[in-house]
Amino acid sequence: MIDWTAYEAVLFDLDGVLTATARLHAASWKRAFDDYLRTRASAHGERFRPFEMPGDYARFVDGRPRYDGVRTFLASRDIHLDDGAPDDPPGVETVCGIGNRKNAMFGELLAGEGVEVYEGSLAVVRHLRRHGVRCAVVSSSRSCEAILEAAGLAELFELRVDGQVAARRGLPGKPAPDTFVYAARVLGVAPARAVVVEDAIAGVEAGRAGGFGLVVALDRTGETEALARAGADCVVTDLGDTLKRGDAGGPPEAS
């Protein structure tokens, strides 16, 4: 159990924490990278080595800004491409082109499958709202606002710091702590009085580096040990399990 009300604010990641869209992101990354790696292997007369799930996703991509994820994974294969430009067409052999192909695939999957919300996480958010604990979403995704709206969650959070905000503010992405620290500063809460909730190794590292009072990790892919090594204070498979009996009921009080 966690005494959530001992803190002034809780900063939630989005994909994999509040919504099940992490599965769609993972599938999109695999398709985009496998398409590129297969084409590259054929062109160079090399053996095709696919993007591995969940290992490559968890270590190199999950929780990072999109183009950082491309660079980090390709570097793990000793592949170094030009960055290109954010408006590169999907699939162009640049960091941005591969990232944009992934984003296009994610959009297709999202439109076809919709957004699933994790009920245990929603129960925690409602519990926090009833007790006056401030709630924010801190996500690397540039689609964060659209996903929150589609999931019907937007009104539950007073602050959203996503990939678009980070770009405007010049904030480096996770595993750097800057987006979490910025969110705490906007809320007027010291990091030591706030909680970070993440499912990605990079996000957990960011929470730990930012000096937050508690870092809670959600293990959705069997990475409990890796999340603990990254700095999580506790690792759970369902955020609802952190609530005491009776704390999960009812809608939040109106703000």
Which active-site residues does the annotation give?
13, 15
Beta bridge partners of 117: 19
- For 108, other C-beta atoms within 10 Å of its C-beta total 13
Q: Three-class SS of residue 167?
A: helix
- Cα 191 to Cα 82, 88, 124, 173, 209: the distances in Å are 37, 38, 20, 17, 10
- Cα 98 to Cα 2, 48, 199: the distances in Å are 40, 17, 24
Q: How far apart are CA 129 and CA 180, in angstroms?
A: 20
Decide the pairing of beta strands 134-138 and 159-161: parallel
Q: How far apart are CA 191 and CA 210, in angstroms?
A: 7
